[in-house]
Amino acid sequence: SAALLEGKKGLVLGVANDRSIAWGIAKAAHENGARMAFTYQGDALLKRIKPLIDTLGEGNVLMPCDVTSDADMDAVFASLKEQWGTIDFVVHAVAFSDKEQLKGHYKDTTRDNFRQTMDISVFSFTDVARRASAIMNDGGSMITLTYYGAERVMPHYNVMGVAKAALEASVRYLAADLGERGIRVNAISAGPIKTLAAMGIGDFRHILKWNEFNSPLQRNVSIDDVGGSGLYLLSDLSKGVTGEVHHVDSGYHTVGMLNMNSVAE
Ligand code: NAD
């Protein structure tokens, strides 16, 4: 097939290991000719991500970045500008909340954790979008990762659901801000996938089972499923699409109730 991202350069935030959703998207982008700069949060993750990035061969870049640090963000974008001049796409796959509050009741969210969750999981995308747009070629594309817990109540998702709702609203405002330059901003709403971040969510195994049994496709999605849809949103195949929340969830969000008889047949 044609290389959809040939000659394109992108920034990818959020690869922690080979189970990360960002890695699924990065693999698809790499197979389609993209060069990428990857950020990692702190030296502890460097050991795990360096060998992964090495499998992609020459021409890719690795930089530390905690998204709550203006100094780190300044350094990342200064370095991109110096090394590459311009970029064509951004993949934002970063979120965090105190594990202790990803169980129990939403009403018990603390002010400190509310602030930190919003800072890392919402503001960071707006911050990245502003900085990236300054060095992005017209017609570029940015994506972030969200979850159905933004739209409907899901068990234990709590403050992260509130943060994802704000993230999805950010996608629409950023799409409006950047549209005149042909820069597109979209979100992928992924079904549950067993990753490092997901393991912090209470009863996650139960959520996986529930989605498998109650989705039209009767299975959970993989990071490669998300990678394929990410490739579409990053490439010109989707050049008429912006401000969108695209569900890659085996169709779970479309279902009120499945006919279990027809499923069993
Ligand atoms: P992951 O643990 O592989 O990735 C989360 C990433 O966030 C890690 O790389 C971590 O280093 C990074 N991060 C956290 N705090 C940071 C900070 N302060 N600065 C910089 N980086 C920071 O898990 P994942 O599931 O691949 O998560 C990626 C995105 O996908 C998240 O936005 C998550 O909410 C979203 N998502 C996940 C699922 C799922 O079921 N796994 C479903 C829908 C959406």
Virtual CA dihedral for 27, 33, 37, 43, nearest 10 degrees?
Answer: 30
CA dihedral (54, 56, 59, 64) positive or negative: negative
Concerning whether 173 is annotated as a catalytic residue, the answer is: no
Q: Is 139 left (phi over 0), alpha (psi -120 to 50) or beta?
A: left
Q: How far is the CA of 177 from the centre of ligand 1 (A)?
A: 25
| Residue 112, domain CATH | 3.40.50.720
Q: Is the ipTM of this complex over 0.90?
A: yes
* Nearest atom within ligand 1 for CA of residue 160: 34
The residue type at 199: M
Q: DSSP secondary structure string, 149-207?
A: GGTS--TTTHHHHHHHHHHHHHHHHHHHHHGGGT-EEEEEEEPP---TTGGGSTTHHHH
Residue 260: the pLDDT is 75
Residue 31's H or E segment, with its range, is helix 21-31
Would you say 10 is a known binding-site residue? no
> What total number of domains does the chain contain?
1
For the stretch 41-65, what's the b/e string if a residue is b when 16 or more beta carbons lie within 10 angstroms of its beta carbon? beeebeeebeebbeebeeebbbbeb
Backbone dihedral region for residue 85 (phi beyond 0: left; psi -120 to 50: alpha; all else: beta): left
Domain span at residue 32 reads 9-249
What DSSP state is assigned to residue 221?
Answer: -
- Residue 114, in any domain of the structure: yes
41 in any annotated domain: yes
- Does residue 254 sit within a domain? no
State which H helix or E strand residue 39 sits in.
strand 35-40
148 catalytically annotated: no
pLDDT value, residue 186: 99
Does the residue 261 lie in any domain?
no
- What is the structure's pLDDT at 262? 60
For residue 196, say whether it is annotated as part of any ligand binding site.
Answer: yes
Ligand 1, pocket residues at CB < 6 Å: 14-16, 20-22, 41, 45, 65-68, 93-96, 120, 145-147, 190, 192-193, 195-198
CA–CA distance, 244 with 1 (Å, rounded to integer): 26
Assess if residue 259 is contained within a domain. no
Give me the tens of pLDDT residue by residue for the chain, a chain 265 residues long. Answer: 579 999 999 999 999 999 999 999 999 999 999 999 999 998 889 999 999 999 999 999 999 999 999 999 999 999 999 999 999 999 999 999 999 999 999 999 999 999 999 999 999 999 999 999 999 999 999 999 999 999 999 999 999 999 999 999 999 999 999 999 999 999 999 999 999 999 999 899 999 999 999 999 999 999 999 999 999 999 999 999 999 999 999 999 999 999 876 655 5
Domain presence at residue 68? yes
CA–CA distance, 4 with 80 (Å, rounded to integer): 22
For residue 38, CA distances in Å to 16, 43, 194, 241 come to 10, 14, 21, 25
Opening angle at CA 87, ends 96 and 238, nearest 5 = 80
DSSP secondary structure code for residue 46 in this structure:
H
The most distant pair of C-alpha atoms in the chain lies apart, rounded to whole Å, by: 60
In a domain, 221, yes or no: yes
Please enumerate in sequence order all residues whose Cβ is within 8 A of that of 262, keeping only pairs 6 or more positions apart, or say none: none
For residue 226, being part of any structural domain is answered with: yes
Task: Give me ligand 1 centre to Cα 90, in Å.
Answer: 15
| Candidate list 40, 147, 148, 232, residue with the active-site label | 147
